[in-house]
Amino acid sequence: MRLQTLRSELEAMKMKDSEDVSSYITRVQILANQLNDNGETLTDARVVEKILRSLMDDSENVACAIEDSRNLEEMTINDLRASLEAHEQRKNKKSL
């Protein structure tokens, strides 16, 4: 029962409007670790795909660029974090 609840939580998880990329990725990783601790095997590739699917709408173009230019099967969560944080920093600089 616990495993099913965790799976549902992961599937429903979305990035919040006020949330930065690092915080969101940390939330996803915590849930992924809980799933792993309860017997579900989640690969980095599956977590990377989940994160890319659930980013804010204004990050969709960077998500598409990452999907097109990188092999998601080989991409680590830390690689994704670095790419998304760099994009977020550029976006924040432009809004100042």
- The tens digit of pLDDT for each residue in 47-68 reads 999 999 999 888 889 999 999 9
Contact call for residues 24 and 14 (beta carbons, < 8 A) = no
Q: What is the reported pLDDT for 50?
A: 96
User: What's the domain count of the chain?
Assistant: 1
Q: Which residues contact 53 (CB under 8 A, 6 or more apart)?
A: 63
In single-letter form, the type of residue at position 86 comes to A
Q: What is the reported pLDDT for 92?
A: 87
Domain that holds residue 74: 2-94
Residue 96 has pLDDT above 80, yes or no: no
pLDDT in tens, 7-43: 999 999 999 989 999 999 999 999 999 999 999 999 9
Contact call for residues 61 and 87 (beta carbons, < 8 A) = no
Q: What is the reported pLDDT for 59?
A: 86
